[in-house]
Amino acid sequence: MLDARDADASHRKIPAGRWALMIQVDGVGQVYGEEGDPRRIVALENASLEVARGELVCLIGPSGCGKSTLLHLIGGLAAPSSGEIRIDGERVQRPLPQKIAYVFQENALFPWRTVLENVKLGMEFQGVPKAEHENRARESLDAVGLSEFAGHYPRQLSGGMKQRAQLARAFALRTEILLMDEPFAALDEQTRLLLGEDLSVLLARTGKTIVFVTHSLVEAVFLADRVAAFTARPGRIKQIIAVEEGHPRSRIFMTSSKLAGLRNELYELLHDEIYKTMNEAGIAR
């Protein structure tokens, strides 16, 4: 706990010898607009982070701090202005559908296709042989508890079910890495907490490497092995906090004083940054 407060970079590194390295973010920055342009935005500055195989890391910070940008960069959906990202030692330059699957905030299901067809289309894009589509799709829908809704269209599902469907689509791709961009942001708190519990169980079973962007302090502490807290824009990783707790996590951990303590610590860390962001937006005094 004490070294978590340490300003030095020790927590950016994976604890030696414990896990194998999966994702390496090395001095990555992202700038939009040319030098001297008044609209130029430094979205992300010199971010470094290592994620071990099977680890779940949450990115948290004020709006516009570059946490989603970092996720896009890791996923190869955009190229960084500076620095380098490596997956399994290999530099990321484009999406890697064989290695990385995505769960987006919302509306990323294709509304003209049923849940089952959505899951199958993902596999078609990824290049899975057609003969395997049906079985793998059914399997992953089972895993998220949506088997009965395979024939429904996305608009016929609740927000929580839509996100389960997205998760099923991602699972069917059988990638080692899962990137989740505020997947539960649009849900009410109760649904979000329940989905969080389910997710913890599911993920403990699959052993995937996960980077998860969230706005929710509780969600971050509940799910993550480590939480990376970002500063206000220009976004930098301010500190990384380790959550020493095995998976799957249950509601016992949810209500524990350990979680509360870590959440408070995280809140202390983010408070000033959120305040800065609000000042810039002219919301606070």
Partner 1 sequence: MKRLVQIGFVVLLALLWQLATLGHVSPLLLPPPAAVGREFLVLLQTANFWPDLRVTLFELIAAFLIAAFTGSAIGSAVSRSSYAVRVFDPLFAGMYSIPAILLFPLYVLFFGLGPGSKIAMGATIAFFPVVLNTITGLSQVDRAYVAAARSMGASPIQMFWSVMLPAAFPVILAGLRIGLISGFLAILGGETIASFSGLGHRIVNLAESMDTARMFANIVFVMLVAWVLNAAVSFAEARGRRGIA
Contacts with partner 1 by CB under 8 A lie at 75, 77, 95, 97-98, 100-102, 104-108, 110-114, 121-122, 124-127, 153-155, 169, 173
Tell me how far apart the alpha carbons of residues 280 and 31 are, in angstroms, rounded to a whole number.
Answer: 18
Nearest to 265 by CA among 232, 233, 227: 227
Nearer to partner 1, 23 or 193 (CB): 23
Nearer to partner 1, 18 or 94 (CB): 94
CB of 173 to partner 1, least distance (A): 7
CB of 105 to partner 1, least distance (A): 8
Pairing of strands 237-242, 226-230: antiparallel
Please name the helix (run of DSSP H) or strand (run of DSSP E) that holds residue 272, with its range, or none.
helix 257-281
Q: How far is CA 74 from the centre of its chain?
A: 10
CB of 117 to partner 1, least distance (A): 9
CB of 111 to partner 1, least distance (A): 5
Nearer to partner 1, 48 or 126 (CB): 126
Token reading at 269? 């860390």
Nearer to partner 1, 6 or 124 (CB): 124
Neighbouring C-beta atoms of residue 207, cutoff 10 Å: 10
CB of 114 to partner 1, least distance (A): 8
Tell me how far apart the alpha carbons of residues 272 and 125 are, in angstroms, rounded to a whole number.
Answer: 43
CB of 87 to partner 1, least distance (A): 14
Nearer to partner 1, 110 or 275 (CB): 110
Cβ-in-10-Å burial (0-12, 13-18, 19+) of 282 comes to exposed
Pairing of strands 226-230, 209-214: unpaired
231 contacts: CB under 8 Å, gap ≥ 6: 61, 65, 237, 238, 273
Nearer to partner 1, 108 or 278 (CB): 108
CB of 251 to partner 1, least distance (A): 32
Task: State whether residue 40 is helix, strand or coil.
Answer: coil
Nearer to partner 1, 76 or 243 (CB): 76
Tell me how far apart the alpha carbons of residues 240 and 57 are, in angstroms, rounded to a whole number.
Answer: 9
